[in-house]
Amino acid sequence: MGGQVTILQTVQPILATLAQASLAASGGVAAQVWLTGPGDICAECPRRPDCPDQAACLHLATRAGDIEPASVPTSRLPLGSNPIGRVPGADEALVERDDLADLGIADAAWLRRSGIKAVATLPLRHGRRGRGVLVILAKSKPSDG
């Protein structure tokens, strides 16, 4: 576990830059970077009932923009169980326009207050392996293109 903390500290500035650049390029309100990591807090994780495999999950690595830290309900998301958790394995971008609170990336009240209308996700890959997800929250609904 200590090695993973060291790696995260090393890549943290890169992830923060990625989140900021994504916001600037997309016109989004907020961005999050979720990285695949060990199932380390399963006993107290509120998403455990949704988690098909406690060996690994998505860990919130950084966020940028106008997102209140308290509005992120959890720092872990199960792999494979919801639209965000399926992105690393599917290797496809995803745009969600409905039921945004069900994604688990932000509190429903904050999403409404902030006027978030869409969530766009991009898989983060290293070689052939899915390593995480870049999430962009936007006030406008993007076109299908």
d(CA 59, CA 53) in angstroms, rounded, equals 14
**Above 70 in pLDDT, residue 101?**
yes
Two structure tokens written together for 141:
């609904």
Give the pLDDT confidence score for residue 145 in this predicted structure: 47
Q: Average pLDDT in the 113-141 region?
A: 89
C-alpha pair distances (Å), 138 with each of 6, 92, 117, 125, 135: 32, 19, 6, 23, 10
Residue 7: CB atoms within 10 A of its CB come to 12
Q: Average pLDDT in the 39-63 region?
A: 89
pTM: 0.85
37 within 8 A of 79, measured Cβ to Cβ: no
Give the pLDDT confidence score for residue 48 in this predicted structure: 87
- Residue 9 banded pLDDT, cuts 50, 70, 90: low
